[in-house]
Structure 1
Amino acid sequence: MRTIDEINEKIQAKRAVVWTVEELKANVVEMGVKKVAQMVDVVTTGTFEPMESSGAILNLGQPDPPIKIRQCWLDGVAAYAGFGAVDLYLGASQSADYSGSGEVSDLEELREMRSRSPQQELGGGHVIADLIAGKPVKLRAIGQVTDCYPRASIETTITRDTINQFYLYNPRNLYQNFIVGVNGGDRPLFTYLGPLQPQLGNAVFSNPGALSPLLNDPDLQVVGIGSRIFLGGGIGYVAWEGTQHFPLQKRLPNRTPIGPAATLALIGDAKQMDARWVRGCYFKSYGPSLMLGIGVPLPVLNETVVERCAVRDEDLVAPVVDFAIPRRVRPNFGLVSYAQLKSGQITIDGKRVRVAPLASIFLARQVAETLKQWIEQGEFTLTQPVASLPSDRPFLAQDRWGAQINLE
């Protein structure tokens, strides 16, 4: 029906018809797929959820005399320094070290750093969010002394404006569906989904369902390597397949997966991001993470795009997984629809269980709406993917036959 170049011409002329994916779903019910496909040019999707497989690359610039950094802490959080002399990678889920090993110089500084997080815990996600917000971050680094890098250590304060490069490179974002966590055991469990109460006391899901970017493009027909996206309030791109990318997951007749499937690796300039859409967070007795707002525009190239985007929460399912079993493969209580999950309760073995989302549905809608406004105003054009994402990746586990496993 149309090409990305034709859509971009309309965007630049501010004539493009852009709907959020929720608007599209409602209009398909009223008008049908064919008529909607003739009307709309771009559909915007969105999510705002924890994405712990995220991180930032920073280039500090050399001091005088120069240094070859081999250990480094940013507000007490260790950053990886095993490549360029002043290049760092700060992981979102790296915890601050409060052991007194030297990266925090005194008790007063420790108290100040801990007070910056309402959860009283600090991690890489908080430091990334602070830098994006323009806040100062304390840096301490130890160098390997060489003839060309004679400096042994440095302590200073950095901001996003005093370093050369500061960009997010996230190895795994935007799960194309995920699980619902419950706890069938007899004690509370603290997980990457948050606290799970014993005896099926609650359930937690993390995907926003019908708003979710990749559930509206289940076969990855329009999203690919090089796709331009909304990332943390700025412009980002799909860099590669994400880690644990598993497009071979079992699927429903509507092509949506019944559990974790495709993932994306994303990249974007953190200096242009907005602190509203990038927030550090902490999961009790589990660790720190990063909340990210991500929006993906889907170009309406044909009717199939609209048909896939018309999928509703009642047409999407996720498996209910029991975290009380401490194994990689856990038993589950079957599949539930996202319509059931968003109702606030589900039934498991005849018991009503209250449900809460880990993703913010409210902010996911705002991501999709913000991206829609950018496109309508001619501020955001689409890109043609330079390559498709792989559709045949298996999931390889590290099983060791005969290994002794201690589950205590």
Structure 2
Amino acid sequence: MSHEVTKTISEINDRIRSGKAVVVTAREMTDIVGRLGKVKAAREVDVVTTGTFSPMCSSGMLFNFGQEPPVMRASKVRLNNVQCHAGLAAVDAYLGCTETRRDDPLNKVYPGTFKYGGGHVIEDLLRGKAVRLWCESYVTDCYPRAALEKDVTLAGLKTAMLLNPRNCYQNYNVAVNLTSRIIYTYMGPLKPGAKNANFATAGALSPLFNDPYFRTIGLGTKIFLGGGTGYVLGAGTQHDPKPKRTERGIPLSAAGTLMVRGDLKGMNPRYVRGVSILGYGCSLAVGVGIPIPILNEDMAFFTGVSDADILMPVKDYGHDYPQGIPRVLGHVSYEELLSGRVKINGAETASVPLTSLSMSLEVAQKLKEWIEKGEFTLTEAQERIVSE
């Protein structure tokens, strides 16, 4: 494929280091491509920054809490009474953000509702708070300690890594409820008779709508993660490599996902927050921003995506979703969803976002500032993510 404009990541990095790179947010790029066209936009712009801030349930912390005499192999681990997975090594464990606290008092009043879970533990650590570590194990000759209980802080952990198996969905369902009773889901409470339509993603700001075929995002891509620096490890779990797409390459269903990691000790609690969802459980809201290098006019075209270009599938979480039925009731544009009212089955209903658009824009702007100051350069993907 030939292009009128061609750049390399190395050339763009040279421009970043010299302070000459032209960096714009994805929202700004939509206007630029609309005014100038993709070829002129590709000549003028070097990097487009994207951003999203939304509950991302497949997230968690991989940590090592260190040894002290006598040493132990922890087979059961809890942090602030939230269960961790300890089937790794002596003092390694993984805390999933949706794991809930044992005997959560809120659950006794509102079944299925938890005030505190793994995501809240992660946020507490980031805020400098001490959390209670509890460990138990069988005894061996090399690991004679049977139990350990103490307070730990983020600074005191040997290792603390945000390691998220599935973040940044490329598209996602608009959730409605066609039953006659209210239901409680990870998409929030859904009123009967499709009286509300809940949706997620940051629209034209969202990372994977700006590189729909993963031409620049892959293994080793450096990203904004939780207010610090992170990296893409590859496709996330449940990644759909070949969804049905529009002519712009926008998938018509939940499609691409990313597995990401970053050093929790370098993150900011403003962009990593524990979430409690009524009647469902806990999660973690994560800020993710990915820079898209404008290597040619194709990438300029992709980053010129608008909210009107993004069509999202409407699904019934009352009957269909719990039974694993993939029926799509129709599609609505992200632009329509942002208006606050959409038509579902011919009737108007309220649309409710789970993603914070203001925080998503803040992530994209913060990443833009880092790049303009020369504090953040781009990396070349070492392995492509299958997407076509």
Q: TM-score range by the shorter chain?
A: over 0.9
Match of 1:321 among 315, 322, 327: 315
Match of 2:291 among 291, 297, 300: 297
Aligned residue for 2:365, secondary structure, equals helix
Other-structure match for 2:60: 55
Q: Structure 2: state its 5+ residue gaps.
A: 1-5
Other-structure match for 1:105: none
- Paired residues for 1:253-292 under 5 Å: 253-292=247-286
CA contact (8 A) 2:214 2:386 kept: no
Distance 2:281 2:384 in 1: 34
Distance 1:338 1:290 in 2: 23
Identity %: 45
Match of 1:160 among 135, 154, 163: 154
CA contact (8 A) 2:173 2:253 kept: yes
Return the TM-score normalized by structure 1: 0.90
Other-structure match for 2:116: 122
CA contact (8 A) 2:7 2:296 kept: yes
Q: CA deviation at 1:249?
A: 1.1
1:129-175 deviations in whole A, cap 9, x for unaligned? 11112111111110221111111101100111101110111000010
1:340 aligns with 2:333: no
CA contact (8 A) 2:99 2:117 kept: yes
Distance 2:173 2:101 in 1: 28
Other-structure match for 1:16: 21
Other-structure match for 2:231: 237
Distance 1:240 1:190 in 2: 32
Match of 1:372 among 340, 348, 368: 368
Aligned residue for 2:349, secondary structure, equals strand
Q: CA deviation at 1:120?
A: 6.0
CA contact (8 A) 1:322 1:330 kept: no
Residue type matched to 2:338 in 1?
Answer: K
Distance 2:339 2:373 in 1: 35
Other-structure match for 2:386: 390
Residue type matched to 2:209 in 1?
Answer: L
1:228-248 deviations in whole A, cap 9, x for unaligned? 000000000001210000021
Distance 2:328 2:230 in 1: 36
Distance 1:257 1:330 in 2: 15
Other-structure match for 1:33: 38
1:357 aligns with 2:353: yes
1:105-134 deviations in whole A, cap 9, x for unaligned? xxxxx89xx9xxxx8611000001111121
Residue type matched to 1:287 in 2?
Answer: G
Distance 1:331 1:197 in 2: 19
Distance 1:240 1:17 in 2: 28
Q: CA deviation at 1:94?
A: 0.6
Other-structure match for 1:148: 142
- Paired residues for 1:170-185 under 5 Å: 170-185=164-179
- Paired residues for 1:216-255 under 5 Å: 216-255=210-249
Aligned residue for 2:383, secondary structure, equals coil
Distance 1:279 1:232 in 2: 9
Aligned residue for 1:314, secondary structure, equals helix
Distance 1:255 1:240 in 2: 20
Other-structure match for 2:131: 137
Distance 2:378 2:345 in 1: 47
Distance 1:158 1:13 in 2: 43
Distance 1:5 1:217 in 2: 19
Other-structure match for 1:64: 69
CA contact (8 A) 2:27 2:205 kept: yes
Match of 1:43 among 22, 34, 48: 48
Residue type matched to 2:164 in 1?
Answer: N
1:4-44 deviations in whole A, cap 9, x for unaligned? 01111111112111000111111122222111110111000
CA contact (8 A) 1:323 1:330 kept: no
Q: CA deviation at 1:390?
A: 2.0
Q: How many residues were matched structurally?
A: 376
Other-structure match for 1:404: none
CA contact (8 A) 1:42 1:298 kept: yes
Aligned residue for 2:53, secondary structure, equals strand
CA contact (8 A) 1:17 1:40 kept: yes
Aligned residue for 2:194, secondary structure, equals coil
Q: CA deviation at 1:330?
A: 4.5
CA contact (8 A) 1:232 1:277 kept: yes
Other-structure match for 1:83: 88
Residue type matched to 2:154 in 1?
Answer: R
More moved, 223-232 vs 29-38:
29-38
Aligned residue for 2:283, secondary structure, equals strand
Other-structure match for 2:98: 93
Residue type matched to 2:85 in 1?
Answer: Y
Residue type matched to 1:253 in 2?
Answer: E
Match of 1:208 among 202, 221, 226: 202
CA contact (8 A) 1:170 1:266 kept: yes
